[in-house]
Amino acid sequence: MSRIIDRGLEEQTVLIVKMGELTYETLAISIHGYLEGKSVQEQVRDLSDILVSMGEKVEDEAFQLIARFQPVATDLRTIKSYMKVGNDFVRYGRYALDICIINDQLNGLKECESWTRDYINEMSEKVLSMVRTSIDALKRQDILIAKTISSTEREVDKMYFDYLNKLINAEQANNKCVLSSALMTRYLERIADHAVYVCESIVYISTGEKVTLG
């Protein structure tokens, strides 16, 4: 027998999944713009603002569900997790905008050698795959998909620290390239972390277990 609160929870699920898909689109536009040396800041800023509005709606609807329906523990777990995931998605949008800003200010990778572009391209592909995994796990509420993210997260972390070591040990380097690429790899590493947080929330929704997947 369905409960009145179930409709509200279903609406929350639809909203958070839509937010996730928009998040992936925003990040993909931003990252590809950086890799291709194209300015996409205005477009990404608009999308980031939409994500902020959607995140606020997730929070508003969560408080309404709590106030109106006195949810039980399992419901509260879902509501709390959706609020957290919404905040993670908003952070994605902020990182996407930050990437656009450094691209425009520092000419992206134009000052870098080809190996740097190849390295960041590979790291970007791994990070976007993690974001895709987190969204697919969210859509399906599938903890098995969510738990697959751990191995890629370790690869991204290793790439980040390996790249910093390359910069430290480089005999000569263009200042713009160093600053731009260091910031970019840091943003990618942080985006990967938030993808892990989303997957951890999915496990918590389904099982009540607080896990660390990173």
pLDDT in tens, 150-168: 999 999 999 999 999 988 8
More confident residue, 110 or 152: 152
CA atoms within 13 A on the CB side of 151: 2
Highest mean pLDDT: which range of 66-70, 98-102, 170-174: 98-102
Does the domain at 4-207 match CATH 1.20.58.220? Answer given as: yes
- Using the predicted structure, report yes or no on whether residue 2 has a pLDDT greater than 90: no
The pTM is what? 0.92
127-154 residue pLDDT tens = 999 999 999 999 999 999 999 999 999 9
Range with lowest mean pLDDT among 44-53, 106-115, 121-130, 165-174: 165-174
Q: What residue ranges do the domains of the chain occupy? A: 4-207
For helices 114-140 and 4-36, angle between their N-to-C axes, nearest 10 degrees: 170
Maximal CA-CA distance, the chain? 69
Kindly indicate the confidence band of residue 30, based on its pLDDT and cuts at 50, 70 and 90: very high
C-alpha span between 202 and 135 (Å, rounded): 10
Residue 4 has pLDDT above 90, yes or no: no
DSSP conformational letter for 140: H
Q: Say if CB 116 and CB 109 are below 8 A apart.
A: yes
> CB 25: neighbour CB atoms within 10 A?
13
Q: How confident is the model at residue 1 (pLDDT cuts 50, 70, 90)?
A: low
CB 6 within 8 A of CB 12: no
CA geometry: angle at 97 spanning 126 and 35, to 5°? 45
> Which residues lie closer than 8 Å to 48 by C-beta, 6 or more apart?
26, 93, 94, 96, 97
